[in-house]
Structure 1
Amino acid sequence: RAHPLYAGKAPVFDGFTSHFDDVESLPAGSIHLAGNNITPIQAAVVTHEGTAFWAVQYHPEYDLREVAALTRFRKDGLVETGYFADSAAAESFITELETLHADPLRKDIAWRLGIDHDVMDADIRTLEVKNWIENTLRQNSSGLIADA
């Protein structure tokens, strides 16, 4: 985790993913930053023509309310693909996400859903975004563009 994208981030953390497609391979010269057993490539640095692009496939910007809204939007597909037993189970999950978002002290719901501070604390959850912005500002103020 030496890359500046993860400065201050724990070596292991949870993040919300919302995709049915995955990055299968990286171009030559890329730096593989993060992955998990479901999606081996979750973050990478891709350099093209001297410019580095930091990419994450998960969504650090999503809070629980947004996850609930996206789950509601994709509910039928999530039931069809086996993520929920039925529509009622999906609705129960959505309700719990919305309740926990409104009342982050609901340890019962957080425990049941396996949601910890790395998802609940916006400063921790969005640290990659902050790190990217700060790195970009540093590069722009110095007139340099780093390759990683």
Structure 2
Amino acid sequence: MVEAGLATSEDDVEGYARQIDALHQEPQRRDLAWRLGLDEQVIDEQLRLAEMRNFIEALTRLGREGLLAVDR
């Protein structure tokens, strides 16, 4: 993260990770969600899992040939 310029130090990365962990433990913490720029699509487990299921289903519908066409 530091090498990519997304954080200024390892401490910044660790602090961010602690906030993510805290939000995972207490998903109702709107203050952390706001600070991290996350909305219900990410913090609501049911919505998040539905999005992942939809993505995986879309990949299976595309199949190998469809995935290769996306890269072109």
Q: Give yes or no for TM over 0.5.
A: yes
Partner residue of 1:119?
42
Q: Kindly report structure 1 stretches of 4+ aligned residues shifted beyond 4 Å.
A: none
Q: Which has the larger radius of gyration?
A: 1
Greater percentage in helix: 2
Structure 1 counterpart of 2:10, from 87, 94, 104: 87
Partner residue of 1:35?
none
- 2: CA distance, partners of 1:87 / 1:116: 26
SS at match of 1:118: helix
Contact 2:2–2:9 under 8 Å retained in 1? yes
Q: Over aligned residues, Cα RMSD in angstroms? A: 2.3
Q: Unpaired runs of 5+ in structure 1?
A: 1-77, 137-148
Higher relative contact order (CA 8 A, sep 6+): 1
- How many residue pairs match? The answer is 58
What's the % identity of the aligned pairs? 36
Greater percentage in strand: 1
Q: Unpaired runs of 5+ in structure 2?
A: 61-72
